[in-house]
Structure formats: C-alpha cells, structure tokens
Chains A and B, each alone.
Chain A
Amino acid sequence: MTLHVAIIGGGASGTLAAAHLLRRRSSPERLRITLVESREDVGCGIAYSTDQSSHLLNTRVHNMSAFPEEPEHFARWLERQGLSSGGGLEFVPRKVYGRYLTELIAAEPNASAVPRLRIVKQECTGLRPHEHGVEVALSDGTVLPSHFAILATGYCRDGRHEPGLDDPWSRPEKHDLAAPVVLVGTGLTMVDMVMSLLDSGQSGPIYALSRRGLLPQPHRVTKPLKLSTADIPIGTSLAYMMHWLRSTIRSHETAGGNWRDIIDGLRPHTQMLWRHLPHESRGRFLRHASSLWDTHRHRMPPASADRIADAQASGLLRIIRGHFQEAHRTAHGTNITYRPSGSREPLVLEASHAIDCRGFGRLSLPTKNRLIQSLLDDGLARVDTLKLGLDFDKHDALVDANGCSTARVFGIGPITRGSHWEITAVPDIREQAARLAELLLGTPGLNESAPRRETN
C-alpha cells in the first residue's frame, strides 16, 4: 500500500521533512509526498530567499548538511557546484543554501513511474483528521486525502506587522542614501540589514536600537566541550542553571578555553534542557535571559563582524540602548519614538525609514494565518503556554484543545518552538526531520489507527 504524506509549507523545514522521508523509503510505489506551498520558490522560505550575497549563513558549511548521518553532504554539493571550499569551516551565502535545499527534493534519480513528490501551489486552509488519515483542504476548494500531515508553517507570519516599521524580508524601496535609517533590534537580522545598506552605498547614519544594545558575538573556530546530559543540571530553576553556566564557563576559561566551547557543547542538549526547564522558568528565560543567550548562541560570521565593527568605528552605525515605543510615518519619512535606557523622557529619531529587526515574537491572536486560526477554531490545536507556536507532544504530534495528541498531524520547525525553543537552525531541524521520518515510515500497517510510538 502507498503511504501518502502531506507537508504544509515549503520552506526549509518542510523541505527537510520531505528530503528525509524520500531518503528513508526508496521504493517508489510505497510513498507519495505532496508539498503544499503557495510561494514561487520551494525550499527557500523566509530564511534562504534573500538574493544578496552578503547575507551569509550563520553556521559553518560542515554543520549545514541536510542529513545528520552524512555531515559532508552539503560540502560535497558545494564542490560539485565549483563553489568550495574552505574545508567546511567557511560561511557561504544563504541564497546558495536555498538552492541546495531546492535541489534536495527536485532531484529524483529514478523518475520511472509517478514522481514520489509533487508540489501543489496552493494555500492550505484547514485539516480534518479522521481515524485512518487526514483530509487537507486547499484554497481552490479541493481536498487532498492523506495518511499524515506535517505542519511546516514556520513562524505563523500573517502579514501583519508593527505600524510604521518595514518588513525586513520584503524588497526595500529606493531611498535617499544620505538620510538616516533606523533598525529596531540588534540581532542577526540587524546584521543582514546593515550588510544590505552598506552594499547599496548608504552614507547617512544607521541607528540600531534595542533594550540592551547587545550585538551577536562573532564566530571563532571552537573545540566544543563534549558535555553529556549527565553533566548538565537539567530540571533546575533558571537562576540555578545560569549560575551553573557562568561558573562552568569561568572555570573553562581559567583553564585556557573559550566560552564558545561551552555554548557549542550545550548545543546538542538545548532541546532537552528546555523540555526539563520548569514552566515558570521558561517564561523568565524569555523575559530576562533570551537576548543574552541568543547573542552568544547565534553568532555572526567573522566577515560580517568585521564590517559591523568598521561601520561602528567610522560612526556610520550607531548602537542605541533604549526601549522602542512607536513608529509613525510622516511626509518626509518615519519618526521613531524610544525611551533611552535609564531615562524616563522619550526621544524621537527622524529617519527616512525604519526596519523591524526584532525577529519573531509570540503569536498575536486571532491570527490572520487562515490555517492556524482554523485549527484553533476547530479545536484541533491549541497554542503552547508561552504563545510561541502551537502545542506539540514529545513526538511532535499536534496536541488538540483537550490536551490529546492527534495521531495524524505532526509539526516541524519553528511552529514547534514552544516544545523545543531552539528549533530555528538547520542542525536542529534536520534531527527533528529524521525523527519524524522514522516515526511515520515505521508505521507497520496503514490500517492501524495510530503510528507506532516508543513507549517512554
């Protein structure tokens, strides 16, 4: 019998899910995948659809293979394209990675019979799970019957954003290069926007505004400490955990090491850490520690760090510590009101335009994302306690409004952020894709009402 899997969303997460499913089951008559994506370029998503060469991957080539068991996969693909190589230690443009992902699912070696993967250029508007499968409703009114559906809808963007601020991922309009620009947020998106502005010849000042003015740390070559779960005090409060982290880093640096070795050593365990973190500590982490964690965990390539440092030294880029309050458009541009840190009096920055670089926060409900809202309205899904995404169980099965796991609908990537927190980078998502492929294709018979599960 043929297993039908519908993947909703053709960004990096959905593409990795498809690639892992295709890789596991080689016999063409046993598997059919339908990838539902309304955008033109499947594989890219918001992460890799940038066309600018200065927007680099923030992870080295040797950590970016789509398949964890084959770490050289991406490096070898780069070599075949004649684009290599720095021995896997280099940072390549993100648009190159987008092409890699696209080709992962485009290339079907045995295109003999019906292709195992087909892409449907539609929007998914709803899901109807039943005992033996799930019906996937599409925007043109058709219904796609399948055995399983995988939600790969990313951050549930719904087209809304802060009034007065530009979306960083829409094509920028031409502006006066001598006029000031404000970037709200000082993370990796800010770095990308500074790269674009420098490339376009910006000569007016660039103001980057955030609460603490923390920039991403630059990458260095590290020797990650091989931490085991047995070493890490999981399940303790955030305060205890941070104290442990600081003292571990301190003693490692006293012994001549670098803090990056500890952060990178923790990396394979971050999802487990989050799972064991008490609920109250998770909220506290988001409020107080996440920006510090992000700047150390999500670092920028040295080439970008150098350009940022040069722009700061020349006075072109100025980092402002303050609370963003509001933006409104005027006849000449955009005025940004903010309250400088440690002051009560708000100040106003006049700029030609301002770009929202704060990344992805919590869901704002009701959402204009039709699929997500319909799942919530139908009681098929619920929002996780921190409102980061939807609620999924430990096997990444969707949890419904009554707290029961749905046996037919799964999630991958940022939509599962509430259960994993660190699920935005390819090294994390590819592991999730591998687990999901094993779970779905391990199903012994399709007449069974639920996929096979491990029992712990």
Chain B
Amino acid sequence: MLSMKGKYGLKALYHLAGLPPGVMAQSIEISEKHGISKKFLDAILADLRHSGFVQTRKGRGGGYCLTRSPDSIMVGHVLRVLDGPLAPIHCASRTAYHRCHDCPDENACAVRLTMLEVREAIAAVLDNKSLTAMRQMVEDEKADLDEVLAAS
C-alpha cells in the first residue's frame, strides 16, 4: 500500500513538475501548499535527491527542481525508492522478502500467487504513468468539471 512517504513524495514531485523551466521551489513553499510537515518533506526530498530525481541549489533563488524532463520520470520509479519494491504483500518481493509467520508452504499459497500477479499489474500502471501524465489528469478533471458547471 502507498505509505505517507510515497504519497507526499509524489505530491512534491507533482509540484516541481509544474514549475517553469529554470525555476526552483523551496521546501517550505511545497510543505505549505500541500500540508506536509516540513521536516518530513525535507527527509523525503533528500531521498529523491539521493536517487537522482531532484537537485538542489543553495542561496538566493535556490531550492529544489527536477533533474530531468517530467515526462521521463514515472510514478513507479519514485515509489520504488520511497516505499521499496512494488509488492502488495511481503512474500511477493524477492529483495524485500519476508515470509509470513503462519505460512506452511508459500509455493502453494493462493494469496501469494494472486498477489504476484497483482504486483505485475501495479508495475504496468505505475511505470507508464509519468509526472507529466499526472498533471494532465488533473487538468482533464478540471476541464470536465468546468464543462459540467457551464452546462448546468
């Protein structure tokens, strides 16, 4: 499931993806706009910098910005870094694997086998959804809403 860390990280990147080229955003600005504690946000931004999605500049006009075009950053890229392997259940991951305590035979576990399929489906959606596409979704929703309002 999506953790708070993952959720806030995506919101922060969503924010940065909306900046004009060359403009940087300070973390206080993001934290106030999206209602995230600044301390928590700073820790998340540090992870995102470490994994190569955002970069910082100090001083006047400094802050955070994306390292590359938002259409090449996928939601799935970010969530693997913030939340670990995409897996709906621990035994469905090879690298963050934990066995369930109450499981006699995981190879015959119907829940696990189902969740292995779910995992692939999650990856298929998230690895094809870019930050640009996220912003587009919001735009489309707004346009739909305006249309409904105009018609009523």
Q: Which of these, B50, B74, B81, B116, contacts A276 with CB under 8 Å?
A: B74
Residues of B within 8 A of A236 (CB): 51-53, 77, 80-81
Assuming A230-B119, A456-B128, is B94 touching A235 (CB within 8 A)?
Answer: no
Binds A, one of B4-12, B65-73, B143-151: B65-73
Residues of A within 8 A of B73 (CB): 235
Flag if B52 contacts A234 (CB, 8 Å). Answer: no
Residues of B within 8 A of A227 (CB): 94-95
CB of B120 within 8 Å of the partner chain: yes
Residues of A within 8 A of B52 (CB): 236-240, 278, 281
How far is B69's CA from A280's CA once the two chains are assembled, in angstroms?
Answer: 12
Residues B76-135 near A (CB distance < 8 A): 76-78, 80-81, 85-87, 93-96, 116, 119-120, 122-123, 127-128
Residues of A within 8 A of B119 (CB): 228, 230
Flag if B86 contacts A230 (CB, 8 Å). Answer: yes
Flag if B77 contacts A276 (CB, 8 Å). Answer: yes
Interface flags for A224-235 (1: CB within 8 Å of B; 0: not) read 011111111111
Q: Which of these, B72, B86, B94, B128, contacts A226 with CB under 8 Å?
A: B94
Most buried by A among B51, B53, B73, B123: B51
B interface size (C-beta, 8 A): 28
How far is B120's CA from A280's CA once the two chains are assembled, in angstroms?
Answer: 28
B77 to chain A, nearest CB (A): 3
Assuming A278-B67, A279-B68, is B123 touching A229 (CB within 8 A)?
Answer: yes
Residues of A within 8 A of B128 (CB): 456
How far is B76's CA from A62's CA once the two chains are assembled, in angstroms?
Answer: 34
Flag if A235 contacts B74 (CB, 8 Å). Answer: yes
Residues of A within 8 A of B80 (CB): 230, 232-236
Flag if A231 contacts B85 (CB, 8 Å). Answer: yes
Assuming A230-B85, A236-B52, A240-B51, is B95 touching A248 (CB within 8 A)?
Answer: yes
How far is B94's CA from A225's CA once the two chains are assembled, in angstroms?
Answer: 8
B90 to chain A, nearest CB (A): 12
Residues of A within 8 A of B127 (CB): 229, 234, 276
Residues of B within 8 A of A235 (CB): 72-74, 76-78, 80
Flag if B51 contacts A237 (CB, 8 Å). Answer: yes
Flag if A230 contacts B93 (CB, 8 Å). Answer: yes
Q: A231-B86, A231-B93, A276-B127 are in contact. List 17 more A-B contacts (CB 8 A).
A: A228-B119, A229-B120, A229-B123, A230-B85, A230-B93, A231-B87, A233-B77, A233-B80, A233-B81, A234-B127, A235-B74, A235-B76, A238-B52, A240-B52, A278-B68, A279-B68, A456-B128
Closest 7 CB pairs of A and B: A237-B52, A235-B77, A230-B86, A240-B51, A236-B51, A231-B85, A230-B123
A-B contact pairs, 10 of them (CB 8 A): A227-B95, A228-B116, A230-B93, A230-B122, A231-B86, A232-B80, A234-B80, A235-B76, A278-B52, A279-B68
